[in-house]
């Protein structure tokens, strides 16, 4: 018996007949066209063909011109640059993509991914101090940083300039002196705010390419940008960004590239996932490739995931992919054990059924898999779900929501009770004492 009560939106029968006649389609396709607001000829053509020409001007993004100037100045003056990324697939692909671009410019660039268990999500002061001590003078935060106000405000004290390239909702209007490229900032003129973190990085690289001198641009093939779309599609799908607008263009183009990608890291990852020579769609990315890349950050460290995507040697890439596959199997086992425990809790105590949401805690749960289990529980029970575990002297956990409940807004309203949080409308991480 399903827990879902499906409510199907009705469409005007006369409009549906008009669409059938105009586009020579079946009633079912005509209904889809109407429900997706694609009745305009050009809108439908763009939806089907996803032309690259429909991508927006990257210079419409907030502060992107300043970011381009700062990054190219660092490259020109041989300053040490570090790309600081999140430990999920969006952060991993964002980091890899930007490092790959900067290496082609012969930039002095390194990368850093915080450890989920020791450091948690986002920029942290200890890491910033450590990176400054290693001689880095420009830190580019990708898929994180918008809400790390205290670290951003003090970065200059450590000798760091900071550029943030992010897509997370700002808690407040950031006034830190850092350059923040984020389509969701207040006052942003960017037409499409739903880009994943790797999508914003793609836009920054597009802007950087257009600003290069001829001698620098000659280092890049004419199709360089489109050849990066395998990573863009991978990060966008795994971050569950809506497949509308620009995301749809980037993902459709990226999936066809992903299937034939020659990146050793992706070739190796497809091999261990059993996808050699097979068609790659959103399912294959979201449920076969993505979980293996995510396993690094969930079970140990995501640094090897960036190493995998940047690796040029297939043999080394295969070794990393095999380690990730092993970690993914461990993750699956732990995840199933926690899910079974939660099922038993809910079966033995029916009092939760009258509640609007679920908050569950166990000191024994593995922090790295709570997001996956919370997603499963929220989907099955149709309730916002928060799962917490003990982490030293605080509780840390993951929250997942349903379409009708804005999780980010709810956590923003009680942030004074939390030690920290971050995320989106449907997914978030949090910590509290």
Chain segment 200-246, per-residue pLDDT in tens:
999 999 999 999 999 999 999 999 999 999 999 999 999 999 999 99
Task: Return d(Cα 112, Cα 95) in angstroms, integer.
Answer: 8
Task: Return d(Cα 106, Cα 88) in angstroms, integer.
Answer: 27
Looking at residue 370, what is its pLDDT? 97
Which of 28-32, 267-271, 304-308 is least confident?
28-32
Give residue-wise pLDDT tens across range 78-103: 999 999 999 999 999 999 999 999 99
Q: Is the pLDDT of residue 107 over 50?
A: yes
Q: At what angle do helices 64-76 and 197-211 cross, to 10 degrees?
A: 60
Task: Return d(Cα 16, Cα 172) in angstroms, integer.
Answer: 44
Question: Percent of the chain at pLDDT above 90?
Answer: 84
Among candidate residues 95, 92, 93, 146, the one with its CA nearest the CA of residue 123: 146
Q: What 3-state class would DSSP assign to 230? A: helix
Angle in degrees, CA 428, 299, 308, rounded to 5: 100
Question: Percent of the chain at pLDDT above 70?
Answer: 98
Among candidate residues 213, 255, 205, 245, the one with its CA nearest the CA of residue 68: 205
Task: Return d(Cα 153, Cα 178) in angstroms, integer.
Answer: 7
pLDDT band per the 50, 70, 90 thresholds, residue 1: very low
Task: Return d(Cα 340, Cα 77) in angstroms, integer.
Answer: 56
The architecture of the domain spanning 58-259 is: Alpha-Beta Complex (3.90)
pTM of full prediction above 0.75: yes
Among candidate residues 258, 281, 280, 231, the one with its CA nearest the CA of residue 93: 231
Task: Return the beta strands (E) in 143-216 as ranges.
Answer: 161-165, 179-181
CB 381 within 8 A of CB 346: yes
Give residue-wise pLDDT tens across range 288-326: 999 999 999 999 999 999 999 999 999 999 999 999 999
Q: Which fold has domain 349-432?
A: Diaminopimelate Epimerase; Chain A, domain 1 (3.10.310)
Looking at residue 2, what is its pLDDT? 52
Which contiguous run of DSSP H or E holds residue 141? strand 138-142
Domain residue limits, the chain = 13-49, 58-259, 349-432
Give residue-wise pLDDT tens across range 117-166: 989 888 999 999 999 999 999 999 999 999 998 899 888 898 999 999 99
Burial of 409 (0-12, 13-18, 19+ CB in 10 A): exposed
Q: Over range 4-17, report the average pLDDT.
A: 85
Long-range contacts formed by 164-167: CB under 8 A, 24+ apart:
164/140, 165/67, 165/94, 165/98, 165/140, 165/141, 165/197, 165/200, 165/201, 165/204, 166/141, 166/142, 166/197, 166/200, 167/143, 167/195, 167/196, 167/197, 167/199, 167/200
Looking at residue 176, what is its pLDDT? 74
């Amino acid at each position: 018996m399903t827990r879902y009560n499906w409510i199907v939106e009705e469409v005007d029968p006369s409009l549906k007949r008009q669409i059938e006649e105009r586009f020579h389609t079946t009633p079912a396709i005509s209904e889809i066209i109407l429900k997706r607001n694609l009745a305009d000829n050009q809108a439908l053509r763009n939806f089907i063909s996803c032309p690259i020409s429909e991508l927006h001007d990257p210079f419409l993004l907030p502060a992107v011109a300043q970011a381009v100037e700062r990054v190219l100045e660092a490259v020109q003056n041989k300053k040490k640059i570090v790309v600081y990324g999140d430990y999920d697939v969006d952060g991993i692909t964002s980091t890899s993509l930007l490092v790959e671009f900067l290496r082609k410019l012969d930039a002095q660039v390194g990368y850093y991914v915080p450890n989920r268990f020791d450091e948690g999500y986002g920029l942290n002061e200890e890491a910033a101090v450590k990176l400054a001590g290693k001689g880095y003078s420009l830190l580019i935060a990708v898929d994180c940083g918008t809400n790390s106000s205290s670290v951003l405000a003090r970065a200059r004290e450590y000798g760091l300039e900071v550029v943030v390239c992010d897509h997370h909702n700002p808690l407040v209007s950031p006034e830190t002196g850092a350059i923040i490229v984020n389509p969701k900032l207040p006052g942003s003129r960017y037409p499409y705010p739903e880009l994943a973190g790797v999508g914003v990085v793609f836009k920054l690289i597009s802007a950087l390419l257009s600003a290069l001198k001829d001698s620098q641009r000659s280092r890049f093939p004419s199709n360089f940008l489109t050849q990066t779309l395998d990573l863009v599609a991978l990060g966008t799908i795994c971050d569950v960004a809506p497949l509308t607008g620009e995301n749809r263009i980037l993902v459709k183009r990226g999936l066809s590239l992903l299937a034939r990608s020659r990146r050793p890291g992706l070739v190796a990852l497809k091999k261990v996932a059993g996808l050699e020579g097979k068609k790659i769609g959103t399912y294959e990315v979201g449920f076969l490739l993505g979980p293996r890349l995510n396993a690094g950050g969930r079970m140990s460290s995501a640094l090897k995931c960036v190493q995998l995507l940047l690796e040029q040697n297939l043999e080394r890439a295969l070794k990393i992919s095999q380690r990730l596959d092993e970690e993914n199997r461990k993750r699956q086992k732990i995840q199933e054990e926690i899910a079974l425990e939660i099922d038993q809790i809910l079966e033995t105590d029916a009092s939760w059924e009258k509640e609007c949401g679920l908050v569950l805690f166990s000191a024994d749960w593995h922090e790295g898999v709570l997001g996956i289990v919370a997603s499963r529980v929220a989907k099955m029970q149709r309730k916002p779900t928060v799962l917490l575990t003990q982490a030293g002297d605080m509780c840390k956990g993951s929250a997942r929501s349903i379409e009708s409940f804005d999780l980010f807004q709810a956590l923003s309203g009680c942030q004074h009770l939390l030690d920290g949080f971050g995320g989106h409308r449907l997914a978030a991480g949090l910590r509290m004492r």
